[in-house]
Structure 1
Amino acid sequence: MLGFLLPLTRAVTYTRWLHVLVGAIVPLACALVYPGLGNPSPHDWLLVAALPVPLALAAGMVPSVRHAEGLQARLMLFPGPHARVRNDEDPGVSTVFSASLADRTRTGAWLVLRLEAGLALALLTNALLTLALSLAGAAAGDSGPAGPLPYVPGADWVYVLLAPLPVLVLVMVAAGAGALMARAARRLLGPSVKERLAELEKRTEQLLERNEIARELHDTLGHALTLAVVQAGAARAAGDPDFTDRALEAIEETGRAALEDLDRVLLVLRETGRPAGARPALDEAARLLDSARSSGAQVDAEVTGPLEHLPGPVSREVYRMLQEALTNVLRHAGPVRIGVRIIVEAARLRLEVRNPLPDPAPVAGTGGGRGLRGIRERAALLGGEAEAGRQGGQWLLRVDLPL
C-alpha cells in the first residue's frame, strides 16, 4: 500500500536526482550571459533551453566524452555500493571511447537530453521547494501569500498538512525522471554492435582458454596418477623388494614430472602474456615412453621424420595426445605391449597408438571418455581428425594432422 514511498528510502533516487540536476548547469550558465535571469519570460526560457544544444552536439563528437558520460551514468544512475545495494547486474552502459560516427551521434543526443531534462527538473525543483517553503511559512503564522493560495487566518493546521506535499511530489517526479534517464542511458550510451561483438569474442576466448587449461590439467594429472596406480599395483603384486624400489623410484620421477607440467600450466594461467612454448613438445616424447615402460608396459616406438622441425602448436598438441593415449592404455588395459608410430611427412603428421584389447574389450566407436574426446578436440582445432576403435584383436588410435 505504501510502496509508492519506497523511492524515498533509496539512495539511488537522490544520486539520479543529482545527476539530472547537474545537466542544468550549462543552460543556466548560458542564461547568465544571455538573456539573463532577472525576470525571464517563457520565451526566454525556451531560448535558454535551445542555446546550448549546438554546444552539446559538438561535445558529443569528442571520443572521450562518451567515456566520461558512461562512467557518470554507471556511478549515479544505477544501484551499487554507493546505494548500499549489492547489484552484480551489468547496467548495459559502455565506458569506452567513441569509435564511430554512430557512437558520437548517440553521445550528442544523450548530452542534449541531459541538458533539457536537467533544466526542466531544476525549474520544477525550484518551484516546488518555493511552494513548500511558502506553505511552511503560512503554517508558522506568516500572513504573506502561501504560494498560489491566499493566507487564511486560523487555518494554520491546514498549511501544516499541505507543506510536505510539494516535497513528496518533487521526490516522486525526481524518482521517475531518474528511472527514465537510466533507461535512456542504456539506449544512448549502451554498447554498439561492434562493442558487443568484441565482448562476445572476448568471452569466447576466455571459454576456449578455460577448456584448454582443463584439458591440460586432465592430461597431466591423469597421466601421472594412472602411472602411479599401475606401478603401485604391480609392486604389491610382485612382492619383490627390488621391483618395489624401482616402482617407487618411477612413481617419484613421474610425480616430479607431473609437478613440473602442473607448474607450466599454472604459470600460463597466471601470466596471460606468457607464450605457449612453456608447455612440453613432441621432441620430449621419450619421457612419456620411458614412464610407460617403467610401469611394466612394453613400448615399441617408431619415429619417422624430424620432430624438431614441427610447428610449435602441432608439436605441443601431439605431445598431449600421445600422453593421453598412453594413459588410456595403462588405465584400461594395464601394462601391456604398446605400439607407437609417429610419421612426419612434408605435409602431414600421423600418430598411431595400438595395444591388445583388454577383457572385456570396449565397444568400438563409443569414445565416450573425456580423454578420447579431448584428443578429438585437439585434432579438430589443428584441422585434422582423430579416430579410435577396434581393429582385429587390438585397439587402435589414429591421429592425422596437416602441417
Structure 2
Amino acid sequence: MPGFLRPLTRAVTYTRWLHVLMGSVIAWICAAIHPGLPVPTPAAWLPVLVVPVPLVVAAAMVPAVRRAEGLQARLMLFPGAHPRGGDRHARVAEVAEDPGVSVTPSASWRDRARTAVWLVLRLEVGVATALATAQLLGLALTLVGSADPVAVPLSLLPVLVVLVLMVVGGHLMARAARRLLGPSPAERLAALEQRTEQLLERNRIARELHDSIGHALTVAVVQADAARAAGDPAFTDRALEAVAESGRAALEDLERVLRILREDERPAGARPTLLDAERLVGSARASGAQVDAEMTGPLERVPGPVSREGYRMLQEALTNVLRHSGPVPVELRVAVDDARLVMDVRNALLSPSGATGRGGSGLRGIRERAALLGGRATTGPHDGAWQVHVELPLR
C-alpha cells in the first residue's frame, strides 16, 4: 500500500477526527439557543464561534477539567499503536509510549490558563472542522446527483479534501495537546524525583541480594571444599550445618526482598542489624576463618538505618575475605560512641604484592552505602593486611 494512504488504515486517524468534532458540541448547543440555528450565513454563524468562549474559559478554571481533558486526549488522540490494514499478523493493540499528556488536575494558574487555551482551540477547530466537513460532503453528494457525467469524478475531490483534513488536523491537534496539556515543570520535577527514588530502591534491593545471596553461596562453597579436603565425618557434619544455616538466612532475605518487589500489603519483615552480627561471625568461623571479633559500645543505640546498613557492610567484608583469601585469621572491630560507628575488618594478604582481585561490585557497594549515610569507607591493602574501614555518623 502506498505510504500516503497508510494513515487512512489506522484507527487513530478517525478517533482524532471524532475528538476534534466533539470539541464543537458546546457551540451547537449554544447556537440552538441563540441565534437559533438560522440560515447559515457568515454573519449569522459568527456568534457560534464567540458565545461559548466565556463558558469554556470558566470551565477551565475548575482543576478537574484538566484531568478530564488529559484523559480524553490520551484515549482518542494517542490510543496506542495500531496495525495496518494489510498486516494479518499484526497485534490488535500494542503498548504505546508515554504521549506526554498530563492526567492530573490543575495545580496552578498557569495550568488553568493552558487548559483554557486548549478548550478554546478545541472549540474553534471543532466548529471549523464540522462546517468544512458538512459543506464538502454536501458538495460531493450534489456532484454525484447531478446529470453531468464529468461531475461524478469531480465528487471525489471534496471527499479527498475531507480525508486530508482528518489526517493533518488530527496530527496538529495531537501536537497541540502535548504542548497545552503536557506536564508542568513541577510535574516533570515530581516525576523525575519519583523515578530517582525507584532507581535508588532498585539499587538497594540489588545490593541486598548481592550481599545476602553472595554471602550464603560463598560460605557454602568454602564449607564444601573444606569438608571434601578434610575427610572427617564430624567436620563434614559441622560444615553441612553451617551451609544449612547460611541458606536459611539467605532464603529469609530473598523472601523479604520478593515481598517488596511484589508490593505485598504484608510487612516485609525486619532486616538484620548489627545486633545480629554474631550470626555473621559464627558463619565465618564455621567456614574455617579465625575471626577475632570485638564489639564495644551500645550497639542497640545505633539508629536503625545505620545499624542495618552496617550489618550489610560487615557481611560483604567477611564474604570478601572468604571468597578471595579463604579461611584466614580475621580481625573484626566494631566500636560505637556518642557520634559515630566505626567498623574495621582486617585479614592477612596471601600475595606479598597486595594484589587480591577484590575490585568488584561488593566493595563498591560498601563505599556507596557509607556515602549515602554521610560517612566514608576505605578498602585496600594497609600495613601488610587487607582492610575494610568504615566510619558512619550516628546523626
> TM-score interval w.r.t. the shorter chain?
over 0.9
Match of 2:119 among 105, 111, 118: 111
1-structure distance, mates of 2:3, 2:254: 56
1:164 equivalenced with 2:156 (yes/no): yes
Partner of 1:148: none
CA distance in 1, matches of 2:254, 2:321: 22
> For residues 261-272 of structure 1, what are the structure 2 equivalents within 5 Å?
261-271=253-263
Give secondary structure in 1 for the equivalent of 2:350. coil
**Counterparts of 1:311-390 in structure 2 under 5 Å?**
311-359=303-351, 362-363=354-355, 368-390=359-381
Counterpart of 1:6?
6
**Under a length normalisation based on structure 1, what TM-score does the superposition of the two structures give?**
0.92
1:306 paired residue number: 298
Q: Which residue number in structure 2 is paired with residue 49 of structure 1?
A: 49
Give the 3 Å change call, closer, same or farther, for CA 82–33 of structure 1 in structure 2.
farther
Tell me what 2:165 maps to: 173
Q: 1:279 aligns to what?
A: 271
What corresponds to 1:396 in structure 2?
387
Aligned AA for 2:370? A
| CA displacement 1:261-305 (0-9 Å, x = unmatched) | 211222233237777762111100111000001011111111111
Aligned to 2:17: 17
Secondary structure at 2:341's aligned position in 1?
Answer: strand
Deviation at 1:190, TM superposition (A): 0.3
Distance 2:328 2:172 in 1: 72
- Any gaps of 5 or more consecutive residues in structure 2? 84-91
**Structure 2 counterpart of 1:226, from 205, 218, 222:** 218
- Cα RMSD over matched residues? 1.8
What is the identity, as a one-letter code, of the residue corresponding to 1:52?
P
1:256 counterpart = 2:256: no
Q: What's the TM-score once normalised by structure 2's chain length?
A: 0.94
- Structure 1, 75-84 or 55-64: larger mean CA deviation: 75-84
Retained in 2: the 8 A contact 1:28–1:48?
Answer: yes
How far 1:361 moved relative to its partner? 5.0
For residues 98 and 391 of structure 1, what CA distance do their matches in structure 2 show?
59
* Structure 1 unmatched ranges of 5 or more: 142-154
Which secondary structure state, in structure 2, belongs to the residue aligned with residue 86 of structure 1? coil
Q: Is the 1:7–1:172 Cα contact (8 Å) retained in structure 2?
A: no
Identity among equivalent pairs (%): 67
Q: Deviation per CA, 1:352-374, whole angstroms, max 9, x where unpaired?
A: 0011111365449x962111100
Q: Distance in 2 between matches of 1:262 and 1:5?
A: 54
Aligned length: 386
Asked if the contact 1:367–1:388 (Cα under 8 Å) also holds between the matched residues in 2, the reply is: no
Runs of 4 or more off by more than 3 Å in structure 1?
A: 81-85, 272-277, 360-364
Q: Note if contact 1:277-1:312 (Cα within 8 Å) is conserved in structure 2.
A: no
* CA separation of 1:238 and 1:361: change in aligned 2, threshold 3 A: farther
Q: How far has the Cα of 1:217 moved from its partner?
A: 0.3
SS at match of 2:295: strand
Instruction: Determine the C-alpha separation between the residues in 1 that align with 2:145 and 2:352.
Output: 97
Match of 1:122 in 2: 130
